[in-house]
Structure 1
Amino acid sequence: MRVCLLGAIAGLCACASTPVQWPSPDGPPKLPPAHEINPIAAPDAAHSVAIVGATLIDGRGGPPVRDAVVVVRGDRIVAAGARGSTAVPAGAEVVRGAGLSVLPGLIDAHFHLGGDDALPGLMLRRGVTSLRDPGQWIEAYDAARRLGPAPRLFPAGPLLDWPEPAHPESALLVRDAAEARWAVDRLVERGASAVKVYFRLPLGLIEVIAQAAHARGVIATGHLETVDAAAAVRAGLDGIEHITSLGTALVPPREAERYRQSVIADNAARFEGRYQIFSGISLEAPRTAQLLGTLAARGTFVTPTLAVFERRAGGEGATDVQVRGFEAMMKLVGKARRAGVRVVVGSHGTVPGAERGWAYQREMELLVESGLSPMETLVAGTLENARFFHVDGRLGSVEPGKLADLVLVEGDPLADIRAMRRVKRVMLNGRWVERGQGG
């Protein structure tokens, strides 16, 4: 068994925060704003940019503004609205937006570096201006940061797991409550803006970790599978990673326990077992409505990462069970959103159905196929993800006072979400990202 040591983490510091009480009858804890570990350079504070004539999709879910003007001064958005009511400042750099849509920079709730140091920079050029890696040592991003412009990085640090860990190279083992609280403290002190629990942890430690995270002012999220999702949410989790984490809560207890024991005995059993579980779930069963009701009532964020599980009929190596299981995953995501669950977008970094750098766009396409509207999907990837990150006071929408993270795409993603692949320009903190920069 390999044990990872906290002393290996780079000495990045986060501000101390006021303890937060949880559980609370008022719902999720009110946590302080999160901060990225890589402060982004600000442009000339006097320089103005005006994007003129684009369709504004501001991330808040309201009707788009056709023939809009968005004005940026320095690193801030100072105006956004219809051309007739939004003045273009004298001397501003004017960007002609006819035929384009302007949106908030995309936020990726679930990204994995996977040893590809240039991938964050490539994702930036594809419109992802902020990302969270929910399970990697923070210093693993040192090389990515040296390569050039990268998205705002909101890491969780290594995932917290129990022996024998599924991913020992990116795990920190905790075996009791004292170790769990100690681990959370150390991660937050070194820059983590979230803490992620992994599926081998018992429910009692998940509760301890969630309480410790909230006391330090950060969220707790989890990859569950062998832990009942409703129980984990009641224990304090703010987010659930992967739609497959809901599986054991959606099948009869005996079937759930059979799957749980198989994965505890062999980490690899989950790779095929998750499809077997989902191929047999009933979306109309009372337990499904109960789980989705719990998630909605508690404001839990769910990051489906459908693209990493995508298996289609006729696809290379895809079995009938995998195809049926994936279809059920998509149907569950659509049903969850209709039930009021807070669905957000996470790319997983690389996925089987997309070329390098396009995993985020593939996830958006699958969310629309699952039943979310294009507008719901865009909000999920912008303002709703900003809320999940606790950065919605400064990111996630195009409105005056917020930081100027923007993406310009050709066409109308509300008519066809695939327009999000036609990225023309990306702005990070008021600066245009050059196409040759960032990976």
Structure 2
Amino acid sequence: MKRLTQRSVIALLASATLGACDAADRETSPVDTAEASALAVVGATVIDGSGADPMPDATVVVRDGRIESMGPSGEIEVPADAEVLDAAGKYLVPGLINAHGHVGATLGLEGGHYSRANVLRQLGLYASYGVTTVVSLGGDEPAGVEVRDEQDTPSLDRARLYVAGAVVAGITPGAALEMVNGNAAMGVDFIKIRVDDNLGSTYKMTPDVYEAVIAGAHELGLPVAAHLFYLEDAHGLLDVDVDFIVHSVRDRDVDDALAARLVEADVCYSPTLTREVSTFVYESEPEFFSDPFFLASAEPAVLEALRAPESMARYRESESAQRYKEALAQAQENLGALSEAGVTIAMGTDTGPPARFQGYFEHMELALMAESGMSPMEILVASTGDAARCTGLDDVGTIEAGKWADLILLNADPLEGVENLRAIEAVWIAGNEVPSVSG
């Protein structure tokens, strides 16, 4: 797997006490939870995010925000100072990782509202749906970098964030490299480029420009994620060592050569199927507008605006919306082919812009991945362990000793269907339980 190099961040490993799990219907040990310095989740079936077989009746011990030990309950000693959560009959999986989101700019249906408060609010929203890490690929500002720099601590209680700064544009190599240098100076984790003409309506970055950007970013130790649409551009970007493809090929069937090149170069592919959905789904009232799992976080004013007849008419009359509807079918077909060929898939959604609903759309993405032919285990790994590896994140993505305790406890088996990832009993980030919704 080609690993994207994460920007070094000084660890703020304070000895904060873990948040206790205080739901009324859970059994705990006699230890006073206010004094407990560890958490033991006992009896759950653990699906660790690596693709390994599930481990029934397992115990996971968490201390100082990290997993201290994990294994069969008969082999793991529960510390005397631990709060014990009886999770028999439940399923424990890693927190989901969105390898392509956007954080901080949207309020309601408007962009342009980037602020620290909005970044934190949206990271809390992601976390409530079990999305515990977000790689924000564009539109990030210094406040997001500041939030990123504060997160390596046992007291964390919202989703983790990694950033790309401004999406790099420019019609000359020099202009584009100036943006790369500006992002690097801000302290980003990735560089994001767009190689797309928006269905023929705008300028598309040329090979000489993106080659210079990729080379320049690599000199600075920064990986490059590429937005694309066309098969030809996927090949061109691989020619110059792009690190990550973060949208589906949508103009035609992928060829065997692309699959082989992606596998050989260890370059991951993030399909972002819900991006296409968002372009046309509001031409009529979507079925999910009555889904309690969606309504748990939806803003009534936003729903009212999208239900307005004039809004729906704009979607129906949009030529690009209808073309993107066709592109979704092509994207799903290509995802199925690439996954079958052994290409590493990383779950991503492009959520964050207006009407691309953070948290809920990640679960919609999982369902679309299943429709594309991926198995529940493949989808879970693409959303956890592989998403972490594809984005160079070493401390999250799997349930194993030493990693951050970013976890989801489920009331149903996610390997029987990805819809069961909605059956959320609890979400922990660094071992701290955060408010969550359940479907």
SS at match of 1:85: coil
Gaps of 5+ in 2: 19-35, 108-117, 151-155, 196-203, 286-314
Contact 2:157 2:430 in 1 (8 A): no
The 2-side partners of 1:355 and 1:212 are apart by 34
The 5-angstrom pairing of residues 44-63 of structure 1 reads 44=17, 47-63=37-53
- Alignment-mate amino acid for residue 403 of structure 2: K
Question: For residues 326 and 182 of structure 1, do their structure 2 counterparts lie closer, same or farther at Cα, with a shift above 3 Å needed?
Answer: closer
Q: How many residues are treated as equivalent by the alignment?
A: 357
Match of 1:240 in 2: 245
The 5-angstrom pairing of residues 361-400 of structure 1 reads 361-392=363-394, 394-400=395-401
The 5-angstrom pairing of residues 415-426 of structure 1 reads 415-426=416-427
- Alignment-mate amino acid for residue 307 of structure 1: T
Match of 1:306 in 2: 273
The 2-side partners of 1:407 and 1:369 are apart by 23
Match of 1:19 in 2: none
Cα distance, 1:404 vs structure 2: 1.4
The 1-side partners of 2:75 and 2:353 are apart by 43
The 5-angstrom pairing of residues 34-433 of structure 1 reads 34-35=7-8, 43-44=16-17, 47-113=37-103, 114-116=105-107, 117=118, 118-139=121-142, 141=144, 149-162=157-170, 175-177=172-174, 179-199=175-195, 200-225=204-229, 228-243=233-248, 246-247=249-250, 277=251, 281=252, 283=253, 288-310=255-277, 323-349=325-351, 357-392=359-394, 394-433=395-434
The 1-side partners of 2:229 and 2:101 are apart by 19
SS at match of 2:74: helix
Cα distance, 1:351 vs structure 2: 8.7
Question: For residues 380 and 430 of structure 1, do their structure 2 counterparts lie closer, same or farther at Cα, with a shift above 3 Å needed?
Answer: same
Match of 1:272 in 2: none
Question: For residues 62 and 115 of structure 1, do their structure 2 counterparts lie closer, same or farther at Cα, with a shift above 3 Å needed?
Answer: same
Q: Give the TM-score, by structure 2 length.
A: 0.73
The 2-side partners of 1:320 and 1:207 are apart by 32
Gaps of 5+ in 1: 1-26, 164-174, 248-276
Question: For residues 225 and 331 of structure 1, do their structure 2 counterparts lie closer, same or farther at Cα, with a shift above 3 Å needed?
Answer: closer
Question: For residues 315 and 294 of structure 1, do their structure 2 counterparts lie closer, same or farther at Cα, with a shift above 3 Å needed?
Answer: farther
Cα distance, 1:212 vs structure 2: 2.0
- Alignment-mate amino acid for residue 243 of structure 2: D
Percent identity between matched residues is: 31
Cα distance, 1:189 vs structure 2: 2.9
Q: Is 32-41 or 404-413 further displaced after alignment?
A: 32-41
The 2-side partners of 1:133 and 1:201 are apart by 21
SS at match of 1:391: coil
The 1-side partners of 2:164 and 2:342 are apart by 26
**Deviations 1:21-73, CA, capped at 9 Å, x for gaps:** xxxxxx94x66444579968763388211001111010100100111111111
The Cα RMSD (Å) is 3.1
The 2-side partners of 1:353 and 1:183 are apart by 28
Question: For residues 329 and 391 of structure 1, do their structure 2 counterparts lie closer, same or farther at Cα, with a shift above 3 Å needed?
Answer: same
- Alignment-mate amino acid for residue 219 of structure 1: P
Contact 1:38 1:153 in 2 (8 A): no
The 5-angstrom pairing of residues 5-20 of structure 1 reads none
The 1-side partners of 2:421 and 2:339 are apart by 21
The 2-side partners of 1:388 and 1:356 are apart by 21
The 1-side partners of 2:10 and 2:212 are apart by 25
